[in-house]
Chains A and B, each alone.
Chain A
Amino acid sequence: MILESLLPAASSYARDIGFLFDLITLLVGVPFLIACYLFFAFIFRFAAKKVDKAMYITGYEHEYMKWIHRAHVPILVFDVIIVIFAVNVWYNVKQNLPEAESTVRVIAQQWAWTFVHPGPDNTLDTADDITTVNELHVAKDTLYHYKLESKDVLHNFSVPVFRLKQDAIPGRVITGWFEPTLAGEYDIQCAEICGIGHGLMPARIHIETPSQHAAWVAENSPFSLAKASAPELEVAER
């Protein structure tokens, strides 16, 4: 896998997209190298030799034009191959919405990311939600839905290790999904020019094992934070 050697694959569909990347690289790259070889080979083979004067081709001679027509065949065949595989992956990633085990809200703005985690009750928009800036915490091997919003202009929620990119559009709540498969801390970036601070809105995704994630949730839920700041008070955990 060419792409995976450059960037870890950390979502359930990352390898499918990596396969597409490799397929396109091979289908386009091999003919490109052949073309380059022929191009330079002809230049050197026929350079500075008093061979025939350059010939004018009208475009009607089948004998000569076949070299152009025949090259169209693999282009069409390769296109069909790429489309078949790509549609399959596209459907799985973007048009299919498997049932969520948890949901996070992702809010983009100039120039920061706000993430709302569902908290100990695993339900969004309840009092125990955990809100963070520029830091998303998720559990490995858990299927997440994300609800993507923008406060101002176009942004793009891009998680390179997931091979995920999704535009955030003001006024819309866009739902998508991912399932992290590799623990670690990786980049989140905005992949849509959104103003002068576009390059300054990086965030991090923390993919934790389920037990680590549960510990993080317990530690950061508003109730436990309230308890930590006022330990003498009895605060209901749930």
Chain B
Amino acid sequence: MSVVRMRSGRLTPGGNARAGVTRTVVGLLAIAFGSLGLATLASAEGEAASSARGEQLFALCTQCHGTAGEGNRDALAPAIAGLPAWYLEAQLNKFRAGIRGLHAEDTGGLRMYPMSQWLRTDEDAKAVAGYVASLPATNPAPALEAHGDAGRGAGYYAVCSACHMPNGSGNQGMGAPPLVGMNDWYLLESIRKYKASIRGSNPRDNLGQAMIGMVATLPSDEAILDVIAHIQSLDK
């Protein structure tokens, strides 16, 4: 209220014109800084609210992905904790729009599609993605029984490294998520799904369609295991 009163100048009856102008300028500056401060405060509050909303929504995810976002292979749910927010949000939005997870043979995706419908707004998707990204990465242990040859896998990985980077850290500009820190079984399942066009075949899934093309460079299950062995050997 004080700011408004200063601007109005009604507190200076009898003052000269220059004093009035000075007060007006000071008043305007005060409003400008005041609103900047308020905006910063509001933004900080907005972030806190978003994080709280994200944590609240995350309770739904924990049913399959675990309370720490560590994943659960039996529920076909990969580890998600610590993945970049942009990637999580993009995938959630693909599920929400039915671009991912609506193929008849994508059993895990068909679980995720209805769950993504809980996120009624873009803000909710952003909030939960932000919260999951803020969780410490769980770096899941290898779970596959079959192991590939990391040396051979390095050769295959040359193609992947163009987007996912040589160290597997991912590249937001290319829409490529980090591969290190992902479950080995999830990588295997995902590559198999891309190869069979179970994932990525939706015409609106440009990056998915690109992946279908890229995984064609892996000629067999053995090659997939090799490249996974290489990814597992990269520093986390």
Interface, chain A (partner B; CB < 8 A): 109-112, 114, 131-134, 151, 195-197, 200-201
Closest to A200 in B: B114
A152: nearest chain-B partner, CB-CB: B107
Which 4 pairs, one residue from A and one from B, show the smallest C-beta to C-beta distance? A200-B114, A112-B110, A111-B114, A114-B104
Contacts of A114 in B (CB 8 A): 104, 110
- Pairwise interchain contact A197-B115, C-beta atoms closer than 8 A: yes
Question: Which residues of chain B are near A200, meaning CB under 8 Å?
Answer: 114-115, 117-118
Dominant SS at the B interface? helix
| CB-CB nearest in chain A for B118 | A200
> When the two chains form their complex, are residues B114 and A112 in contact, meaning their CB atoms are under 8 A apart?
yes
A133 to B113, CA, bound (A): 11
B122: min CB distance to chain A, Å: 19
A110: nearest chain-B partner, CB-CB: B111
User: What CA separation (Å) do A141 and B103 show in the bound complex?
Assistant: 30
Q: Report chain B residues within 8 Å CB of A134.
A: 102
Task: Return chain A residues, CB-CB under 8 Å to B110.
Answer: 109-112, 114, 133
Tell me the complex Cα distance, A109–B107, Å.
8
Please, which residue of chain B has its CB at the minimum distance from the CB of A134? Answer: B102
A113 to chain B, nearest CB (A): 9
Question: 28 interchain pairs (CB within 8 A)?
Answer: A109-B107, A109-B110, A109-B111, A110-B110, A111-B110, A111-B114, A111-B115, A112-B111, A112-B113, A112-B114, A114-B110, A131-B104, A132-B104, A133-B103, A133-B104, A133-B110, A134-B102, A151-B107, A195-B63, A196-B63, A196-B115, A197-B111, A197-B114, A197-B115, A200-B114, A200-B115, A200-B118, A201-B114
Residues of B within 8 A of A201 (CB): 114
Contacts of A132 in B (CB 8 A): 104
A196 in complex: contacting residue of B60, B103, B107, CB < 8 Å: B60
CA distance A110 to B74 in the complex (A): 13
Measured in the bound complex, the distance between the Cα atoms of B101 and A111 in whole Å is: 11
**Smallest Cβ-Cβ distance to A111: which chain B residue:** B114
With a 10 A CB-CB cut-off, give which of B60, B102, B114 has the most chain A CB atoms.
B114
- Give Cα distance in the complex from A151 to B60, angstroms: 22
Give the complex CA separation of A114 and B104 in angstroms.
6
Residues of chain A with a CB closer than 8 A to B102's CB:
133-134
State in angstroms the CA–CA spacing of A110 and B64 once bound together.
11
Q: Which residues on the A side are within 8 Å of B117 (C-beta)? A: 200
User: Which residue of chain B has the shortest Cβ distance to A198 in the bound complex?
Assistant: B114
Query: Besides the contacts A109-B110, A110-B111, A134-B102, what 9 more A-B pairs have beta carbons closer than 8 Å?
Result: A112-B113, A112-B114, A114-B104, A132-B104, A196-B60, A196-B63, A197-B111, A197-B114, A200-B118
Give Cα A185 to B107, complex, Å: 26
CA distance A109 to B110 in the complex (A): 8
**Do the beta carbons of B111 and A111 come within 8 Å of each other?**
yes
The smallest C-beta distance from B115 to any residue of chain A, in angstroms, reads 6
